[in-house]
Every structure is written in structure tokens, then in C-alpha cells.
Amino acid sequence: MRTLLLGMGNSILSDDAVGLRLVGDFNRNPGNPASLEIIEECTAGGVDLLHVIEGYDRLLLVDSILTRDGVPGRWFRFTAERLRETIHLTSMHDANFATVLSLGRQLGMRLPPDREIHIFAVEVLDNRTFSEKMTDGLEKAYPIYSEEIFCELRILLQSPC
């Protein structure tokens, strides 16, 4: 099974870089299977993301998330099966991930099935300030959530935690 591990975010937008850092650190650990391809830093979004993930059987995506009353460092894991379609799409620039996946499939692109798209989203505090440093709360919690996410990734890749 061809698997892609993808770090999403922006390295100069404070906490938005958490996905990039996590995937970069995971990539430096030995023992990753040969069938795993890693892109530590992906800034593509919308329709452009289709060309990055096309041809893979499984996608492991690591990104940030900002919710109301969220706790920095809390993380969520779900598959693309749980994503909702955009109801009022006015432009392809507004297309969310679920809509983009649907479009790609309608165009006949070979994309991983929704059940094989695993999304890891880390709650952040600030993803808009220009900074190459994460906020103190997210940085302080990094050792805990990084090890938890790494263990989940290893389970998916069938290697020991």
C-alpha cells in the first residue's frame, strides 16, 4: 500500500507550522516503512492538493486546527468519511477538502478512499501572526501531543510505538 504522510501549514505563521514540524520530526525517526513517502512541507491547498495526493492508496495528513475555546496541543484524528461538503460553493478558491476530493474522483483521478485518508489536526492558538515560533502553550505541550500522534502514525503504519 503506497502511503503519503503530508505535513500541512505555513512555516512563518506561528502555530500554523505545527503540522510541518510534526511530520519533519517524525521523518527523522528511524524505522519508517519503505512504502511510506513523506512530504514534510506542503502549502498546496484546494484543487492543487489533488496533484499531490493522486496515486496514493492511503494519506496521512497532519495540520493545525483553530476552534472556539480550543486548548492548544489538544489534537483530533478522523478520516475523510467525517468531512462535510461545502453547501454554498461560490468559487473553486473556496473549495474545502471534501469538495476537492469529490471533484477529483468525478474527474477520474486515482485518490485514496475516504476511509484511508487519516487527518490529524492539532489545536492551535494563533495561526495568523507572522512568526517562525509557535506560541508558548503549543510549544510547551509539544512533547506530549507529538509522542501521542507519532504512536498513532506508527500503529497505522504497523510499526511499534
From the list 30, 66, 41, 63, the residue with the least C-alpha distance to 157 is 30
Is residue 20 within 8 Å of 40, Cβ to Cβ?
A: yes
For residue 130, being part of any structural domain is answered with yes
Range of the domain at 46: 3-156
The pLDDT of residue 84 is: 64
CA 71 to chain centre: 18
- Angstrom CA distances, 138 to 70, 119, 150, 159, stand at 11, 19, 16, 27
Q: Which residues does 151 contact at the CB level (< 8 Å), separation at least 6?
A: 161
Q: Are strands 117-123 and 75-79 parallel, antiparallel or unpaired?
A: antiparallel
Q: How far apart are the first and last CA of the chain?
A: 20
For residue 92, being part of any structural domain is answered with yes
For residue 40, being part of any structural domain is answered with yes
* Domain count of the fold of the chain: 1
For residue 14, being part of any structural domain is answered with yes
The pLDDT of residue 44 is: 85
**Grid cell digits, residue 73:** 496541543
For residue 125, being part of any structural domain is answered with yes
pLDDT tens, the chain, 161 aa long? 899 999 999 999 999 999 999 999 999 988 888 889 999 999 888 889 999 999 999 999 999 999 999 999 999 999 998 886 544 444 555 678 888 898 999 999 999 999 999 999 999 999 999 999 999 999 999 999 999 999 999 999 987 76
The pLDDT of residue 90 is: 47
The pLDDT of residue 29 is: 85
For residue 161, being part of any structural domain is answered with no
Cα separation, 91 vs 40, in Å, equals: 28
Q: What is the CATH number of the domain that holds 118?
A: 3.40.50.1450
The pLDDT of residue 146 is: 98
- Angstrom CA distances, 72 to 8, 123, 138, 142, 148, stand at 17, 5, 5, 9, 15
